[in-house]
């Protein structure tokens, strides 16, 4: 029952975007209005989303993979078609303010041109986005602090989203990229796994090849709770990470990690949940305190308790133009932010993708931070 309102919203919104495509087809090609049944096939995506959204375990099947690809790619196309179409309809509506200059309704020829332009944009986004998903960038920053006893390289992984689509081949790429940076410390800031991983043992085998002398640490994201918190955290630990469940860890070189569960822990039966403020109250000013928190949100006063906060969650919007909405709702969206007290926040775009294996104008990344004296 927890996800019923969201499911209703998704289904209603899906009918809206499929309906908009049907509307454009009927306006561009009036003869199609007589044949309704082919357009009903578009609504099959609704049933697919319901299936993909139902409660499942970490382990998936090949049939889920094939369905995921079909549904997600179709849904992204429809969503992009609709998003750009909203702007088009807005300008068409503005034309009605000038009835002496513009006709009230566009001709079918002009509607046909609009349809093909939106069609091209949607297909371009899907194709280029699938290609961009494979090109994981390495973003490097330097931070100086007198608290750092010796140069230390930290690699931040975030939002890997192992799933029915993202598998051991992606894990192999992440391991190769990460190890090539020669990190001293690796941290993973949530959303490591989604339901339906086809070959979890193979993912585990690859991710255990990550190497860092100061250790590999991970926290939960919101998707760990969607997947099943205990099973997800156990999977992360099998992959070679030490999980910080509202805990701190002294990793050496005067560096202390503080890891907090995603705020969904307040709605799930999670043992030993500790509020952010209470956890950070254990920080000491002489240490270099790194705060791992999935969502880039800072509770009042917390910034005085850490030197560096590492987050993910936003995906950089993942798919433009949806990124516009993500940028509006997130105060800390992507990249580096310096707070008034001198603390630093990094928000990773993440290396994987939630849902469709598509990244458009929001390239995936791993972050490398060189901590220097």
Give CA–CA dist 36/275, Å, rounded.
Answer: 54
Same domain, residue pair 110 and 193: no
Same domain, residue pair 236 and 362: yes
Q: What is the CATH number of the domain that holds 248?
A: 3.60.21.10
Phi first, then psi, for residue 198 (nearest 5°) are: -70, -45
Cβ atoms of 288 and 254 within 8 Å: the answer is: yes
Same domain, residue pair 142 and 47: no
**Last-in-domain residue among 98, 132, 166:** 132
Q: Is residue 269 predicted with pLDDT exceeding 70? A: no
Report residue 271's pLDDT band, with 50, 70 and 90 as the boundaries. low
Give which of 362, 275, 282, 284 is closest to 316, Cα–Cα: 362
Instruction: State the average pLDDT over residues 351-356.
Output: 92
Report residue 1's pLDDT band, with 50, 70 and 90 as the boundaries. very low
Instruction: State the average pLDDT over residues 319-327.
Output: 90
Same domain, residue pair 318 and 336: yes
When comparing pLDDT for 32 and 188, which is higher? 188
pLDDT recorded at residue 233: 94
Report residue 129's pLDDT band, with 50, 70 and 90 as the boundaries. very high
Give CA–CA dist 194/172, Å, rounded.
Answer: 18
Same domain, residue pair 110 and 145: no
Cβ-based neighbours of 52, under 8 Å, separated by 6 or more: 64, 67, 68, 71
Q: How do residues 226-266 score in pLDDT, each as one tens digit?
A: 888 999 999 999 999 999 999 999 999 999 999 999 988 87
Same domain, residue pair 194 and 80: no
Phi first, then psi, for residue 143 (nearest 5°) are: -130, 135
Same domain, residue pair 199 and 317: yes
Cβ atoms of 115 and 58 within 8 Å: the answer is: no
Instruction: State the average pLDDT over residues 136-161.
Output: 96
38-47, 306-315, 354-363: least confident range: 38-47
Q: How do residues 106-117 score in pLDDT, each as one tens digit?
A: 777 888 899 999
The whole-angstrom distance between residue 168's C-alpha and the CA centroid of its chain comes to 19
Same domain, residue pair 57 and 158: no
Give CA–CA dist 309/335, Å, rounded.
Answer: 12
pLDDT recorded at residue 196: 87
pLDDT recorded at residue 352: 95
When comparing pLDDT for 10 and 355, which is higher? 355
Give CA–CA dist 185/196, Å, rounded.
Answer: 29
pLDDT recorded at residue 272: 65
Residue 257: helix, strand or coil by DSSP? strand
Same domain, residue pair 362 and 289: yes
Order the strands of the 137-144 sheet from edge to edge: 137-144, 365-372, 152-157, 185-189, 216-219, 242-243
Same domain, residue pair 51 and 87: yes
Same domain, residue pair 225 and 150: yes
**Last-in-domain residue among 106, 132, 158:** 132
Domain containing residue 28:
4-132
Which element (helix H / strand E) includes 130?
helix 108-133
Q: How many residues does the chain have?
A: 373
29-38, 143-152, 340-349: least confident range: 29-38
Instruction: State the average pLDDT over residues 47-69.
Output: 72
**Last-in-domain residue among 84, 105, 132:** 132
Same domain, residue pair 43 and 104: yes
Overall domain count for the chain: 2
């Amino acid at each position: 029952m927890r996800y019923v309102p969201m499911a209703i919203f998704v289904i209603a919104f899906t009918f809206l975007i499929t309906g908009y495509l049907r509307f454009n087809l009927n306006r561009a090609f009036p003869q199609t209005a007589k044949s309704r049944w082919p357009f009903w096939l578009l609504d099959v995506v609704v049933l697919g989303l319901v299936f993909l959204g139902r409660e499942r375990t970490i382990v998936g099947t090949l049939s889920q993979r094939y369905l995921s690809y079909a549904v997600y790619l179709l849904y992204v196309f429809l969503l992009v078609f609709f998003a750009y179409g909203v702007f088009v309809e807005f300008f068409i509506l503005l034309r009605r303010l000038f009835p002496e200059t513009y006709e009230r309704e566009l001709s079918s020829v002009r509607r046909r041109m609009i349809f093909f332009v939106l069609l091209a944009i949607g297909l371009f986004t899907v194709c280029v986005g699938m290609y961009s998903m494979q090109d994981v960038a390495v973003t490097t920053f330097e931070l100086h602090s007198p608290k750092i006893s010796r140069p230390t390289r930290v690699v931040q992984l975030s939002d890997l989203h192992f799933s029915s689509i993202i598998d051991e081949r992606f894990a192999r790429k992440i391991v190769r990229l990460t190890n090539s940076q020669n990190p001293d410390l690796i941290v993973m800031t949530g959303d490591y796994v989604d339901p339906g991983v086809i070959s979890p043992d193979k993912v585990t085998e690859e991710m255990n090849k990550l190497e860092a002398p100061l250790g590999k640490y991970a926290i939960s994201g919101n998707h760990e709770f969607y997947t099943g918190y205990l099973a997800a955290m156990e999977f992360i630990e099998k992959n070679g990470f030490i999980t910080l469940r509202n805990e701190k860890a002294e990793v050496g070189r005067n560096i202390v990690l503080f890891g907090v569960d995603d705020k969904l822990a307040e709605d799930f039966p999670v043992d030993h949940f500790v509020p952010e403020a209470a956890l950070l109250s254990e920080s000491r000013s002489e240490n270099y305190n790194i705060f791992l928190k999935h969502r880039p949100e800072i509770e009042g006063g917390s910034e005085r308790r850490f030197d560096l906060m590492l987050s993910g969650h936003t995906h950089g919007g993942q798919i433009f133009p949806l990124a516009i909405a993500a940028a509006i709702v997130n105060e800390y969206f992507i990249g580096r932010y310096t707070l008034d007290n001198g603390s630093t926040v990094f928000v990773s775009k993440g290396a994987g993708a939630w849902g469709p294996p598509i990244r458009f104008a929001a390239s995936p990344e791993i972050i490398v931070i060189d901590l220097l004296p």
